[in-house]
Amino acid sequence: MPKSLTERERQVLEAVIETYVETAEPAGSRTISKRFAMALSSATIRNTMSDLEEKGYLYHPHTSAGRIPTDLAYRVYVDSLMRLRQVSRSESDQIREELTGERAAVDRILERAAQVLGVLTKELGVAVGPSLDDAVLERLELLQVSSERLLLVLSLKSGVVRTIFVEVTSRMAAEAIAQVAVVLNERLGGLTLRQIRTTLSDRLRDAASDSSSGELLNIFIQEADELFDVPATGAAAAGVVLGSAQLLAGQPEFATKERLQGLLAVTERRDLLREALAKQLGHGLTITIGGEHQDSRLSPFTLVTASYRMGALSGVIGVLGPTRMPYDKIVALVDHTSRLVGELLE
């Protein structure tokens, strides 16, 4: 649990964070005193910084007299000290212009959004396409395409249509296939894909005893996780859309070869980023700082994300950067962009 802060400690902590974010240099008491014109002496500020260090909010890098904020300090800052900045007219116009040009597919809109967020924040823009787990099944069709293969056509209420092959052991009678399609539509229509995967066996158990259609219904029961796990398409199907890492790579945190390699390793691990972003689906605006990440490989980074909606579906857009970032600006830009993406996709 974070230790409580006095009003003086809150003021000094905020000043240290804002100084470090802007300069990327450890903040000393004299710098804080001059920069913020506080009614406090340098000695008082220095003692307060020492108290903050003891409480786990600041630390000394090497032998420097200045201090650097910890992950805990940034958490307190975004939760209770930060004053959210307004997105400027020029920034808003730039985002809108980038996203509302020619009519584009979902994945192209996400690519543009990640790119423009990267340019405006100098971080790495990231996005994932809408998850289809919450898409509602409107109807399905079963078509025989060969003696051992059926085509399952899923029509979702979001307007998405997906096709999946179903392997069978031998050619089935057209009447049995039609009967199975009727049963599946009656019992699964109006459910989300997630609900179908988790409850299919219970919904079909009694119907599967019918000799003419039981074999095919049993295939659906046994393979529900595969048949109704429908991926997105386009760039989002690979898991995550990334903007350019060039601006982020130019930040002081990645000045050494080792740290730059660490950044490149993370950007190449799409599965790692996909998992981190998937945790934020449907959670609105989220800020995950340093050691708060479940995977230690992301501990040098902060991930700021906001969910957007496309009908009943939800996706995530945001930025990845070092824990030293202008949170007030970035949170405002991510939130603004996610809202615009949602409007376009609706």
Residue 1 lies in a domain: no
Q: Are 331 and 250 in the same domain?
A: yes
285-289 sheet: strands from edge to edge: 241-242, 124-131, 313-322, 301-310, 285-289
Where do the H-state alpha helices sit in the chain? 7-23, 29-36, 42-54, 71-76, 89-99, 106-121, 174-188, 193-204, 214-222, 224-227, 246-249, 257-268, 270-278, 327-345
Q: Are 252 and 338 in the same domain?
A: yes
Which element (helix H / strand E) includes 242?
strand 241-242
Q: Are 203 and 282 in the same domain?
A: no
- The residue among 46, 65, 81 that closes a domain is 81
**What is the tens place of the pLDDT at every residue in 90-103?**
999 999 998 886 55
Total domains, the chain:
3
**What is the tens place of the pLDDT at every residue in 230-256?**
755 544 444 688 888 888 888 999 988
Q: Are 59 and 161 in the same domain?
A: no
Looking at residue 222, its pLDDT comes to 87
Q: Are 111 and 250 in the same domain?
A: yes
Q: Are 71 and 111 in the same domain?
A: no
- Asked if pLDDT for residue 220 goes beyond 70, the answer is yes
User: In the predicted model, what is the mean pLDDT of residues 214-236?
Assistant: 75
Residue 2 lies in a domain: no
Check which CATH number belongs to the domain holding 122 and give it: 3.30.450.40
Q: Are 237 and 126 in the same domain?
A: yes
Q: Are 167 and 125 in the same domain?
A: no
Q: Are 240 and 318 in the same domain?
A: yes
Q: Are 15 and 94 in the same domain?
A: no
Q: Are 127 and 237 in the same domain?
A: yes
Q: What is this structure's pTM?
A: 0.76
- The residue among 182, 212, 227 that closes a domain is 227
**What is the token pair recorded at 60?**
């000394």
* Residue length of the chain: 346
Task: Show the domain range for 185.
Answer: 136-227
The CA distance from 332 to 117, in Å, is: 11
Of the chain, the percentage scoring pLDDT greater than 70 comes to: 92
The CA distance from 172 to 72, in Å, is: 63
The CA distance from 40 to 20, in Å, is: 19
Contact 157, 135 (CB under 8 A): yes
